[in-house]
Amino acid sequence: MAYYPQSHPDFNGLRHLLLLYGDARRPWTQGQLLAGVAHQDASGRPDDWFFDSFLFLNTKASSGRDYCADVNLGTTMCGEGDFFAMCSPAPAAREDWDELLDFYFGADGAVRTLDGAIAQAAAAIGRPYGPKRNVVLMLPYPHITQARWGSLVPGGPALDFSIERQHLMRATEQRLEACTWMVDDIARRYRGQRFEHVHLLGVYWMFETVYRGWNVDDHWLLKALRPRIHRHGLTFLWIPFWSAYNVHLLDDYRAYYFDLAFLQPNYMFYKEGKSLAVAAKAARARGAGLEIEYYLELDEPIGITGERHSRFREYLNGGVTHGYMREAACAHFQGAGGLDAMRVHEDPREREFYEDIYRFVKGDYAIKPAVRPTP
Instruction: Give the pLDDT of residue 271.
Output: 77
The predicted pLDDT at position 60 comes to 96
Residue 139 lies in a domain: yes
137 forms beta bridges with 56, 203
pTM (2 decimals)?
Answer: 0.96
In a domain, 259, yes or no: yes
* 370, part of any domain: no
Note whether residue 207 is domain-resident.
yes
Kind plus residue range of the DSSP H or E element containing 355 = helix 348-362
The confidence score (pLDDT) of residue 121 equals: 98
What is the pLDDT at residue 86? 78
* Cα of 350 vs its chain's centroid, Å: 22
Q: In tens digits, what is the pLDDT along the chain, a chain of 375 residues? A: 899 999 999 999 999 999 999 999 999 999 999 999 999 998 999 999 999 999 999 999 999 999 999 877 666 666 666 666 778 899 999 999 999 999 999 999 999 999 999 999 999 999 999 999 999 999 999 999 999 999 999 999 999 999 999 999 999 999 999 999 999 999 999 999 999 999 999 999 999 999 889 999 999 999 999 999 999 999 999 999 998 999 999 999 999 999 999 999 999 988 777 899 999 999 999 999 999 999 988 766 666 777 889 999 999 999 999 999 999 999 999 988 889 999 999 999 999 999 999 999 999 999 999 998 876
Q: What is the pLDDT of residue 309?
A: 93
The confidence score (pLDDT) of residue 184 equals 98
Structure confidence at residue 375 (pLDDT):
66
Phi, psi of 334 (to 5 degrees): -135, 25
Beta carbons within 8 Å of 315's beta carbon, 6+ residues apart: 267, 268, 276, 292, 293, 294
* Domain containing residue 309: 9-362
Residue 99 lies in a domain: yes
Beta-bridged to residue 22, according to DSSP, are: 58
Q: Has residue 2 been placed in a domain?
A: no
Count of domains for the chain? 1
pLDDT for position 311: 94
Please name the helix (run of DSSP H) or strand (run of DSSP E) that holds residue 308, with its range, or none.
helix 308-321
In a domain, 374, yes or no: no
250: domain CATH number? 3.20.20
Provide long-range contacts, Cβ within 8 A and 24+ apart, for 103-110: 103/22, 103/24, 103/27, 103/56, 103/58, 104/56, 104/137, 104/186, 104/189, 105/186, 105/189, 105/190, 105/193, 106/27, 108/27, 109/27, 110/20, 110/22, 110/27, 110/28, 110/33, 110/56
Q: How far apart are CA 325 and CA 359, in angstroms?
A: 10
Domain assignment present for 342: yes
Q: What pLDDT is attached to residue 79?
A: 62
